[in-house]
Structure 1
């Protein structure tokens, strides 16, 4: 083998020596000892074998296309199929699915989906699988013939409602996309809500849809709220059990503890048709809420419509008369369920909205509750007790509205 400078390697025993002179006139010789060729081959083969072992998972996933544990659904979301086994076992443990129940999985028409469900032995657990049904195939299912239905979405909710028995269970994963948001129908009741890799809700059919006489003027709007939103409301910051002084409430320390709904949902807000902020002030008081909203709310680079409403509080002797500039009437006329609505309002207004079932038109609420200890820690019997403010906060949160205390 030719070496730099025209020198050659000389074999001496089992060691190769490379002689390089430091200079033309130098008497010093640099000797570099190289390992035996057999040892080099052994090391190189070991390294190659280790690389092959490390890359086997990647090679396997390429050969298989998509693994059993994950699959891209028609909604372009990655769904972890390993959680289905956990979900079905948990539902059985809760008594929501029993042995012998006629069960169906409604799946989008995806080749990978078919192979994945088959590999999970779903049919061996008492499930039938319906994939991308056409009208003729749907008509083959008899009315109220199934005890349990799992659907990857409820795009065809009428079909699922028709084939499910009264008392039957529907389970579905929730989505943060408002266009895919699950909205509970009035003839269903939520009986299960749990988070694995995805959040799942199970609802029980309590009656036939055509048997319900729903009065549009008196329907409970909270029943039509996004369950994905309600599932994360528990992540809202805890209520302050003691009334803070104004100095603390206005500080950045309190603001840093506020957990806004878009951040909890991981929602860009771009998919909503409209985004609306409504500030409600009593008796012309300026709370500075609009300026605060523009400076602090995570709008995610989207535009919000801003509305500033003024409401006159009721006098004690005229409590039977409706509020002037009624907020509930304004909401019914100006916002829809598919809009994203943020509101700042005083407790009196919120109580009235709860009575008229319009509170659930609001996604996120900043609740102002002037209490008896508000100004300087001294009792003022003309205002609410602080425990009443806490109780109202809890009622609003229980309805699925993301609510924060407003102290500014």
Structure 2
């Protein structure tokens, strides 16, 4: 047999099989179009992008689902959707959406034919390829988005595509009220309908908190604070009760006390779920060097729940600016945190009881800096620089929202007694989720037993009262040294 003849037969067979494959493919597409095929023998599901006017087959992607109908998950979500139908949140006329393509099968089996999902390839950006006010019902059994997708952008797309009075359902595995409140703030274009705990789909997830929201007919549904008082709800009071107790008696060795107390600190992010926050920030007020707290404490010890935090270093001392500017991921604000925008005088104080000669020998050990509204002060020997002070409270209000997760460490050499009242007065204190505050008082001097430092005029009791009052206001504040 000639080689050319064999080759010819092989090519004809290849063309025949390709033709059969294309014929079968065209048959499936014609019956399934953009939706899942629900014949009992098929597990094929096809999805495509949609235009702003109607669903069209663009950049289509094929996804093969496992045998979903026979699974425990199918039974679980079928009952969930049946319950929504019974309570009027869902109907056969509803246009519904779920991130999971398997849930679309359960929805369509219940007669919700206008049910849509997106493949993982299409949800690679925050834009949802659907027209405005397209859906009556949107369901999210979890809200884990790729890190490349901005949370607020995706939330905005949910608000855009959900109809007024449309229903939004969120499932979260945690039960803490902090996460619940975070959900309400994140979806602030919706009104709260109900929240309840339901049995989970498997022993590994024994319980789920189901939150039902309804989109407000008024698109501008954001709640604007009328006063500067933070709400202190029951869950926040309980969180504060769970914090490590404040040290009632003045410690003789503050640094040793801090080292011991750090082991007892109950971090907020170790007690609650912070997943539903669109933004995470650590603000180091009085940062000094990178290793003072950013590198040695926050990056190493603070429980971040795998979230990426923006780091802001507020430091007026110019000697630390170059180092902070060189650190990747650190945003330097080279100013002094103050109660208004104005020029200040920055003092580098090196132990007022020591001689200038001793200070010259120890020039490498740079003292702690203080800001002063006036150029000179009593009992001061050191360097003075003109610096720019900025209204820290107003900056906070312009940079963050209550739905963000904001952690503040404040070490401002006594200025906390001006900054804290300003934060309370403006309501900016409500933007802070957790604070680590070093309160400065007239400590006992190491050099001179029985003599207190004249550097600060506040007492330990005044510091204790400041910390206690902040906790009563609902702020999770920790002692820092």
| TM-score, structure 2 normalization | 0.41
TM-score (norm: length of structure 1): 0.46
For the pair shown, the structure with the greater C-alpha radius of gyration is 1
